[in-house]
Structure 1
Amino acid sequence: MVNPGTAIRLEKAGYAVYGMDYEGYGKSSGLQAYISTFDNVVNDCSDFFIDICESLSSGSFLCLKAIVESDNWRFASDEMVKPDENVNYQEEFITNSHGLKLFTCKWVPKRDEPKALIFICHGYAMECSITMSSTAIRFVKEGYAVYGIDYQGHGKSSGLHGYIEDFDSIVHDCSVHFSSICENEENKGKMRFLVGESMGGAVALLLHKKMPDYWHGAVLVAPMCKIADEMKPPAAVTYVLRGVSRLVPTWKSFNLTQDIIDLAFKRLLRGKP
């Protein structure tokens, strides 16, 4: 399933995005999550995307486009939430122990009593209300209440964007907020689960380690817990960078003057790959 938060952001940047559920995934036919051969998945995508490119190409650009049905979505304070009569979405700012304002949000069933609580931990330089909204809504449709928080320096929370002075403070903020929700009268006795994606996987693991008997389980999605040995820079480079980070921790390694989306996506001139 295509992440609608990502698609909508690309559409706002002037792109159109096509998505496809592989066989056995999402709304496509086939045994759920079963891949008979990986080549079939690649061939299906290749045929579909090439058909789109050939039918929509124009001028000197090779276009890969996707349709985003904006009329089928509603926006609440800049984030996209797929309309559903049983999903109640709310936002709130809280203040942490350092006086920073942190953005929080929740997706809860409107009519039914949630059967359990799910707390989502987003990745580095991400946030919870847009990129995690489709995941949260699917959980609510299954009967769960879902809660999220933007870490300090992330999303709509206060702090220098992308800067993490102390990882323990992020874990502490999440622990305080999540446990306060669990201790609300209406939530007492309900099972509690963590869902962490990328760096959020590390946050979820540390939350569980902090109170191992408190949480009933955790789901880790591509958790960023360790840098693979083959991905590590040379030891000398690591030593220098650690020294620089201690001396000038907020120094920008790169001074970006353009929009990050414009830098991340390139247009290919036909015949000049």
Structure 2
Amino acid sequence: MSALAFTGAALLGGRLVVAHSLGGGDLSEIVRITLEDGRTAIVKSGPAPPTEAAMLRAIAAAGATAPAVLAVSDAALVIEVLPAAGSVDAAWGDLGRVLARLHATTARHYGWPVDYAFGPVAIVSAFADDWPTFWGERRLLVNVPHIPGALARRIETLAVDLRNRLPARPPAALLHGDLWTGNVLVDGDRITGLIDPACYHGHGEVDIAMLSLFGRPSPAFFDAYGPLAPGHAERLAIYSLWPALVHLRLFGAGYRSMVERFLDAAGA
């Protein structure tokens, strides 16, 4: 059994008897543990477990569903086990409702109190007072030193023009920040938890763009979430660029075509 499993058991003050490694953790180790007294939990490593714990608590406080934080240290995050036997295909409507509740929690500024990371890729979230500045500087231009020059120049050109393309001050919604279907737990037709967040406050369409990166939510999702502002289709490519750039930096040149596709769609 892994050291992480024993760390989780110690944080819960129990004796470990069973540990199973769980799939889906490209950037973190994840194990499910069972203690001698019958308690079960999920234990995760990660770039900053206390920061992730704060994000999960923020999601729950917003009225969206998230696993309860059972314990946390600098080395590990321990969360409750939630039912997850279903598929999001049966729960798009509930996901729309859950995401609308999350985005209804707003802040005065765009960003998050501390930076975070996807593995070695920093998520810079210093606060900004206007949205185009935040998206241009914290989500696009930060990647320029780490990507091929031709892509970098196109990103720079787009960033200069964001004031003409993005709303200046949309509601600063609480975002999940890494909302793909693998980070949505489902049981039947109900969302039981949003997991693996990378939260910050920003335009709610960002989460929808992330959710659409490798597929498309069903009409039931959009019916439940509510109408999007005019021009959302044009903004989709701009908001999709950030996760595409993250994939390029994490997983290599196979994702260059995705970045180019979104740049083309954005006219950059």
TM-score bracket, normalised by the shorter chain, equals: under 0.3
Does 1 or 2 have the higher relative contact order (CA < 8 Å, sep 6+)? 2
Which is richer in helix? 2
Radius of gyration: which is bigger?
1
Report the TM-score, using the length of structure 2 for normalisation.
0.24
TM-score normalized with structure 1 length: 0.24
